[in-house]
Amino acid sequence: MTKHTLASYPHLLGFEQLERLLERSAKAGNEGYPPYNIEQTSDRSYRITLAVAGFAEEDLSITVEDRQLVIRGRQRDDGEGRVFLHRGIAARQFQRMFVLADGVEVGEAVLENGLLHVDLARAQPETVVQTIKIRKG
């Protein structure tokens, strides 16, 4: 069976980057930690909320790498010198990646009550009309 790509469809010219983004997001992994929500807050803005209870602000980092929003968390293990009768809360780390479309910019990030909110906004695209001159051959 032949794998069809976007490049094999004659009406989808220049969409190779979209295909690469889809493949990259599929490979990003779908582990369940930490859980998150994505909500649309207006016509042109979004909010990603991650449940990061137990993480301090200095344990978290947010970067944009090659049109991907990357959120990382690394808790320090402060159990040294302590005796646990039961340890159900372990120090963990995570990495969550979200592929950003062209024109989507990362705004403010706020940590409150164990929830990390990251706001995104899509810029209003300019309407461009271009007239192509036809020359005689």
pLDDT digit string, tens, across residues 64-97:
998 899 999 998 777 678 888 888 877 789 999 9
What is the biggest distance separating any 2 CA atoms in the chain, rounded to whole angstroms? 87
Q: Which of 22-26, 50-54, 107-111 has the lowest mean pLDDT?
A: 22-26
- Averaged pLDDT for residues 106-132: 92
Say how far apart CA 32 and CA 29 lie, in whole Å. Answer: 9
Nearest to 63 by CA among 100, 93, 30: 100
For the chain, list the domains and their CATH numbers. 31-122 (2.60.40.790)
Model-level pTM greater than 0.95?
no
Q: Which of 22-26, 77-81, 115-119 has the lowest mean pLDDT?
A: 22-26
